[in-house]
Structures are given as C-alpha cells and as structure tokens.
Structure 1
Amino acid sequence: MTMGDRLKELRLQKNLSQEAVARAIGITRSAYSHYEINNRQPVYETLIKLAFFFHVTTDYIIEGETRQQEAGLAREETQELLRLLNHMDEDKRKASINKMLSVIRESE
C-alpha cells in the first residue's frame, strides 16, 4: 500500500471529501489530490498536519507502520489527563503533576 492509498483510506474512514481534508489542513484540494494519487509527496509541515488531522503517526502515513491505534490512544489518554488536571484545584494539580514527573523520571 502506498502513502496515497493510506491517505485515501484514512479520508474515506472519516467519510470526508478531498476538499474537506484540504481545507482542514490549509492546502488546496488539487494539492491533496496529488498526494492520494502519488503524483507528489507532502512537505514535512503538511505531513505533520495530516498525521494530526487523521490521529495517526507520520510513520503510519509514510510507511504504513501500524501505530495508528497507538497514536489515537495516546492522544485520548493525554486529553483525558488534561481534562482531569484542568478540573483540579491548583494544589492538587501541582501535586499530581509532581507525582507524574516522579514516575517518569524513575522509568528513565
């Protein structure tokens, strides 16, 4: 499967048009179309926007690495942590962040 095939598959999974994807990441529909038919490859910045938009890694778009679900899970977990932290009072938030940093440092 090519990069263009993966982009098309991701787009169709979301039931989106090429125009909708292009508009969302700030490029023309024509440019996006060329990515899907493998006439061109996106520049680095566009590749990052595509990965973020589709909730996959750049590796997945480029090489088909099966990290799509991992990227989605990591993003969901991060959003949930941020939501929880934002709803805590300042003291609890600082204590929670310090505990997380402690655990991270221990695992390095």
Structure 2
Amino acid sequence: MTMTMGDRLRELRLRKNLSQEEVARQIGITRSAYSHYEINNRQPVYDTLIKLSSYFDVSLDYIIGGDTDKTLSGINSDTVEIFRLLSNMDQDKRKQSIHKMIDVIRQSE
C-alpha cells in the first residue's frame, strides 16, 4: 500500500512525539491547516512543503510521496545548517568562514 503525503507527515510527527499544534507552530501555520494535510483534505503550498521538509529533516520527494529515502540526499541537518548560515553572510565573511572550516578540517587530519 502506497503512503500518502498525509500518512508520511503523520508518521514523521509521531516519530518525534509531537502534537499537530507543535508542528504547526514551528512552521508558522494553524493547527487546523496542518491537520488537513495529515488527513489529505488539503495540499500544502510550496513554501510550507519546504518548511516541513526542513523541520522533519527529510527530502521534499519523501514528503510528497516519491522517494522512499527520507534523508536529504545524504545531507544531514548540520550540513543544511552550515549552508543556511553561509548563505546569510556577505561574501567576505563567507570566504573567511570557509577558510576557517578548512583550517579546522586540516588540523583534525
């Protein structure tokens, strides 16, 4: 039996022992809207899908019912956070940060 998007959202939420209210609050929607996603009465808009994917640390493809691989194509949450931080920096700070990360990696080898 194929899992629907609602089934997958419910499974992800229950695995983290979260209420619908908690998930909804974290991604900035109402509990009612989130509830409709889980029971397949509504489909989330693209921005909400991205927030759900990030919040549950799974691929968009997994949420919408495609790929059964839940990971973000092998990218863990720490890597996603590094990308997010770097993308919010100006170019000079980003370059400095990358050089510092390279130095730390080289020291640990």
Do these two structures clear the TM 0.5 threshold for a shared fold by scoring above it? Answer: yes
Unaligned runs of 5+ in 1: 83-89, 98-108
Alpha-carbon shift at residue 65 of structure 1 (Å): 1.1
Q: How many equivalent residue pairs?
A: 89
In the aligned structure 1, how far is the partner of 2:52 from the partner of 2:101?
Answer: 36
SS of corresponding position for 2:76: helix
Is residue 96 from structure 1 mapped to residue 102 from structure 2 by the alignment?
yes
Residue 23 (structure 1) aligned to one of 22, 25, 33: 25
Root mean square deviation, CA, Å: 2.9
Give the structure 2 partner of residue 51 of structure 1: 53
Unaligned runs of 5+ in 2: 84-95, 104-109
Give the structure 1 partner of residue 43 of structure 2: 41
CA 1:80–1:93 in structure 2 vs 1: closer, same or farther (change >3 Å)?
A: farther
SS of corresponding position for 1:68: coil
Give the structure 1 partner of residue 87 of structure 2: none
Partner AA of 1:38 in structure 2: N
Give the structure 2 partner of residue 63 of structure 1: 65
Give the structure 1 partner of residue 79 of structure 2: 78
| TM-score between the two structures when normalised by the length of structure 1 | 0.70
CA 1:76–1:36 in structure 2 vs 1: closer, same or farther (change >3 Å)?
A: closer
Alpha-carbon shift at residue 94 of structure 1 (Å): 6.0
Identify the structure with the greater helix proportion: 1
Percent of aligned pairs sharing the same letter: 63
* Contact 2:57–2:77 (8 Å) recurs in 1: no
Alpha-carbon shift at residue 96 of structure 1 (Å): 2.8
Partner AA of 1:96 in structure 2: I
Quick check: which has more Rg, 1 or 2?
Answer: 1
CA 1:40–1:96 in structure 2 vs 1: closer, same or farther (change >3 Å)?
A: same
Alpha-carbon shift at residue 91 of structure 1 (Å): 9.6
| TM-score between the two structures when normalised by the length of structure 2 | 0.69
Alpha-carbon shift at residue 72 of structure 1 (Å): 7.8
In the aligned structure 1, how far is the partner of 2:31 from the partner of 2:67?
Answer: 26
